[in-house]
A and B are shown apart, each in its own frame.
Chain A
Amino acid sequence: MTETEAVPETDGGEQPKPHTIRLELADEPGQLLDALRPIAENGGNLLSIFHERGNLTPRGRIPVEVDLECLPDRFDAIVDALRAEGVNVIQAGAEHYGETVTVLLVGHLVDSDLSDTLRRIEQCSSASLSDISLSAPEGRDDVSSASLRLATYTGRTEDALEVVRKVAREKDLHVIEPLTEVSQ
């Protein structure tokens, strides 16, 4: 976009702004289309898509970089809609979630107020909860397990894990941590 080019004004006088969203997609047919639909449906205008097929993430997923433009007040709705569709958003706008980490929680998850547990992990400034799976095979009287996928700021994974450990200790839950190799 050049400066001389006329940009249509909208009701609030605001102009569309460009944004970059980084996604991780499973290597399955239809995944890319499913990821793009919420952008269009929520007022985003696609500018470019960089589908890095040859460059798998450590978790075996395909990184995708989407450039789009939208009105400032639409951007959060687009990211929320992507996440609601189950798309793994690694980085959106000013958020720089450079790493994802999966931890398991084991114990009496329901009786120890799972939503409170998740809320406290979410409140941690280093991480955003991007996915959760719960398995409670024997009903609520027996121990259940939850798999939490956290998007964390680059270099802040250990901080996020410490928050998970602290909440788990208080609630008598067990944490099964990922083996993050020492990088010193």
Chain B
Amino acid sequence: MSDGKRLAVLGAGAVGGSVVELAAEYGHTVTAFADSASAVVDADGIDTAAALGSKAETGRVGTADPDAALDADYDVLVEATPTTLDDAEPGFSHVRDALERDRHVVLANKGPVAERYADLMALERESAGDVRFEATVGGAIPVLSTIEDLSPAHVTAARGVLNGTANFILSRMAAEGLGYEHVLAEAQDLGVAEADPSFDVDGTDAALKCVILSNVLADGDREYTLADADVEGIKNVPGSALELAAEDGQTIRLIGEATPDGARVSPRLVSQNAALAVTGTRNIVQLESEHAGQLNISGRGAGGPETASAVLADVGRLD
């Protein structure tokens, strides 16, 4: 176990908020915390309860300018702002700023890893700081650290269910014989799906995770972005398709596949008894390795404390 670190946490959503809330439990000190409009900075450690209370009441974590968090004293920058595509800004600039200061970076934001992996790795090479991003794939599930332990060169493929919202919808449709629109509305009522669910049901979120996995498995030989992925969502899966699948002992899941040669997300037929046929919001990743055979790791793929635990595990892996 490494020594306690000073953390600057950017992003005050479910993940960033949970990192701030749990940091002390893991022996770390939060010296800066920012949302898009404000920041709170204290080199001796911010009052985390006050900052989270302020966020809940006023929508702001503090009164300082958000850029103050980047200029603060810290060892590790935790980038937990919302995922953005294309140039992955402003997350990418936050990461660059930290690496140029020779600080470590831990990402929960998928954008910089999925859309600008080569740029990110180039910055890391020039920096004394390290970049880690366990939380970007599979939430609480230790996918990337498992691949790191096996060594990416010995993992030939990763596949699995990487989006809990899409999986909830498909498994409810299959179990209850309900249509897509009906189950989507139910998922929105339960808070499982967002008001605009397109990121999840169109397969984009799962594809970003697969692109990240392909980048890791390719190990620098090739760079992938979302544009390179072959993506199909679940909106075209009618109840009748799930019924036909069930007649044959099968079901349909939104499966992401990543290899060093590319990434693909599409609804696929899988046996109802298959390890990949998880139900509800559960995620699963199956790794094919050269010497260790097949590994299945399953768990919660989203959620504030769950994803924060992956962020804090990364912080713990830093020197």
Binding site for B on A (CB under 8 A): 59-60, 102-104, 106-107, 133, 135-137, 143-147, 149, 174, 176-179, 181-182, 184
Known: A179-B159, A179-B269, A179-B276. 15 other contacts (CB 8 A): A102-B250, A104-B244, A106-B236, A106-B241, A135-B241, A143-B240, A147-B244, A147-B248, A149-B248, A176-B266, A176-B268, A178-B268, A179-B255, A182-B259, A182-B288
Give the A-binding residues of B (Cβ under 8 A). Answer: 156-157, 159, 232, 236-241, 243-245, 247-250, 252, 255, 257, 259, 266-270, 274, 276, 288
Contact, CB under 8 Å: B269 / A177: yes
User: Which residue from chain B places its CB closest to the CB of A136 in the assembled complex?
Assistant: B240
Q: Which residues of B contact A177 (CB under 8 A)?
A: 266, 268-269
- Contact, CB under 8 Å: A133 / B237: no
The answer to whether A176 and B249 touch across the interface, beta carbons within 8 angstroms, is no
| Chain B residues, Cβ within 8 Å of A133 | 244, 247
**Using Cβ atoms and an 8 Å threshold, which residues of chain A touch B248?**
59, 102, 147, 149
Contact A102-B240, Cβ < 8 Å, known A60-B249, A147-B248: no
Cross-chain contact A103 with B241 (CB below 8 angstroms): no
Of the candidates B245, B252, B269, B288, the one having the most CB atoms from chain A within 10 angstroms of its own CB is B269
Min CB gap B156→A, angstroms:
6
A104 and B241 contact, CB distance less than 8 A: yes
Which residue in chain B gives the minimum CB-CB distance to A58? B271
**Bound Cα distance A106, B252 (Å):** 13
The docked-state distance in angstroms from the alpha carbon of A176 to that of B232 is: 10
Which residues of B lie under 8 Å from residue A179 when comparing CB positions? 159, 255, 268-270, 274, 276
A144 to B237 Cα, complex, angstroms: 10
Contact across chains for B259 and A145 when beta carbons are under 8 A apart = no
Residues of A within 8 A of B270 (CB): 178-179
Query: Contacts of A144 on B, CB cut-off 8 Å?
Result: 238, 240
Query: Which 9 A-B residue pairings sit nearest by Cβ, starting from the closest?
Result: A135-B240, A145-B241, A147-B244, A145-B240, A179-B268, A178-B269, A174-B236, A182-B157, A104-B241
Which residue of A60, A103, A137, A178 is within 8 Å of B240 (Cβ)? Answer: A137
Report the bound CA distance from A165 to B120 in whole Å. Answer: 37
Q: Closest residue to B253 on the A side, CB-wise?
A: A179
Contact (A147, B236) CB under 8 Å given A179-B255, A182-B288:
no
A49 to B255, CA, bound (A): 40
Name the A residues within 8 Å of B241 (CB-CB): 104, 106, 135, 145, 176
Residues in B whose Cβ lies below 8 Å from that of A104: 241, 244-245, 252, 269
Flag if B249 contacts A147 (CB, 8 Å).
no
Q: How far, in whole Å, are A135 and B243 apart by their CA atoms in the complex?
A: 8
Q: Do B157 and A137 touch (CB < 8 A)?
A: no
A184: nearest chain-B partner, CB-CB: B156
Q: What are some 27 contacts across the A-B interface (CB < 8 A)?
A: A60-B249, A102-B250, A103-B269, A104-B244, A104-B245, A106-B236, A106-B238, A137-B239, A145-B241, A146-B244, A147-B247, A149-B248, A174-B232, A176-B241, A176-B267, A176-B269, A177-B266, A177-B268, A179-B159, A179-B255, A179-B268, A179-B270, A179-B274, A179-B276, A181-B159, A182-B159, A182-B288
Most chain B beta carbons < 10 A, residue from A103, A137, A147, A178: A147
Which residues from chain A contact B274 at a C-beta distance below 8 Å?
179
Distance (Å) between the CB of A158 and the closest chain B CB? 14
**B156→A182 contact, CB < 8 A:** yes
Bound CA–CA A147/B243 (angstroms): 10
Q: Please name all residues of chain B whose beta carbon is closer than 8 Å to the beta carbon of A181 when the two chains form the complex.
A: 159, 288
Q: A93 CB to closest chain B CB, in angstroms? A: 27
Q: Check A176 against B156 for contact (C-beta < 8 Å).
A: no
Bound-state CA distance A12–B212 (Å) is 68
Task: Please measure, in the bound complex, the distance between the C-alpha atom of A174 and the C-alpha atom of B156, giving whole angstroms.
Answer: 28
Chain A min CB distance to B238 (Å): 5
A102, B249: Cα distance in complex, Å: 11
Q: B217: shortest Cβ distance to chain A, in Å?
A: 12
Q: How far is the CB of B86 from chain A (nearest CB, A)?
A: 28
Residues of A within 8 A of B236 (CB): 106-107, 143, 174
For B288, what are the chain A residues with a Cβ–Cβ distance below 8 Å?
181-182
Q: Chain B residues with Cβ under 8 A from A107's Cβ?
A: 236
State A147–B252 Cα separation when bound (angstroms).
12
- Check A102–B243 contact: CB distance below 8 A: no
